[in-house]
Amino acid sequence: MNFEIKAYKAPQGTVLLHYDAANLHDALRRAEAEGYKIISSKVLRLLPGLTRRYRFPLALFSQELYSLLEAGLPLLEAIETLAAKEQQPQAREVYAGLNRLLNEGRPLSQAMQEYADVFPSLYVATIRASEHTGELQQALSRYLAYHGQLDAVRKKVVSAAIYPVLLMLVGSLVILFLMVYVVPRFSKVYEDMGSDLPLLSRVLMAWGQFFEAYSWSITISLILLLIGTGYALTRSGVRDWLQRKAWQIPSIGMRLHLYQLARLYRTLGMLLKGGIPLVAALDMVAGLLSQPSMRANLSAARQRISEGQSISESMLQCQLTTEVAYRMLRVGERSGNLGEMMDKIAGFCDEEIARWVEWFTRLFEPMLMLFIGFVIGGIVLLMYMPVFELAESIQ
């Protein structure tokens, strides 16, 4: 990843420095080691809105580290083993940094904290809590289970969306082929006939002539539209706007709210089982909620809980629970097993989302097929309407 750092150093004055580093912390540290005082920094972009970004495989790292520790390797040797097999230079730099910090005597959580853009605060907090109890393997196992459960609903949504997307793509290509290639040739045939054509045939011929005359312009416009749409989706402002609009649709907004609750409770459950106090865990999970109103409600619930109110009542009053979740939280409070109960609440939310996705796809797919069939059938009918009328006139 490339970084541009604005810095000051006498007698040079203010300069722009460029570094290729695994993360911003490494780039800043290299600049400071050269005697510069940092003024500002930013990630260099290949194009406006596009950033060459390396994503560290955190789940794979956790799985491999867990397996090596389970096999009996010491932590330092396990990190060295992972570094030796790594091919990506950015990941090798992360491993080298962890190795160096561990050799300096720092605990693993502090070493990971130096790479905040690689290891999220939730992950670091879980590792830090496990260091006090000596249960690093259990912490990694909990994170892997947490990561797998979070991915489960996302994979169901993606797999359910594949068929409708393919159907829309194929249908659009068929309609485009008919309008750009087939219809113009039919319009020429009808034009050569030279007889009076009915209204629908004249509409068809006009469409054919239009697409034939501006076929290149239409093709270029469609390509630019696709590129513009893809670019717009990379902009955080556009994504936030789309998300706000989606939340305003009652049926979709309710499921998005449920999805956010599932993430909230699953993350809280993982942190509580890792030994992190509830109030501290609530502070850590605030960044998971994408909706500002839900973040404000979570802050209000945290305030109520820190003042001594019960967790279930605080969550209910701040609209961060469902009827089933509220009752399960009350059971968890009485049994002192809140971590496990929050996992179960997240499971209930995930099941409800999965049921809704299945119902929606079963309803949407046939409706989409009917719509595409209606459009294609209408085009074909318009193309052959003059032939039918000619046959009737001959009879």
CB 282 within 8 A of CB 268: yes
DSSP letter string over 171-222?
Answer: HHHHHHHIIIIIHHHHHHHHHHH-S---HHHHHHHHHHHHHHHTHHHHHHHH
Q: Which residues pair with 299 in a beta bridge?
A: none
Torsion over CA: 190, 196, 201, 203 (sign): positive
Ranges of the chain with pLDDT below 70: 1-2, 12-13, 21-23, 43-54, 190-198, 200-201, 389-395
Which residues, including other chains, have CB under 8 Å from residue 64's CB and lie 6 or more apart?
82
Starting at the edge strand that comes first in sequence, how are the strands of the sheet with 2-9 ordered? 13-20, 2-9, 37-43
CA distance 252 to 145: 27
* Confidence (pLDDT) at 90: 79
* Confidence (pLDDT) at 22: 60
CA–CA–CA angle 173, 174, 176 (5° rounding): 65
Token readout for 184 is 């113009």
Q: Could you tell me the domains of the chain? A: 2-43 (3.10.20), 58-119 (no CATH), 136-395 (1.20.81.30)
* Confidence (pLDDT) at 47: 43
Rg over alpha carbons for the chain, rounded to the nearest Å, is 30
Buried b (16+ CB within 10 A) or exposed e, 204-215: bbebbeebbeee
Nearest to 187 by CA among 160, 207, 163, 205: 205
Distance of CA 194 to the CA centre of its chain: 58
* Confidence (pLDDT) at 50: 43
CA distance 344 to 341: 5
CA distance 334 to 201: 76
* Confidence (pLDDT) at 393: 63
DSSP letter string over 269-300?
Answer: HHHHHTT--HHHHHHHHGGG--SHHHHHHHHH
The pLDDT tens digits of the residues spanning 27-36 come to 777 778 777 8
* Confidence (pLDDT) at 49: 44
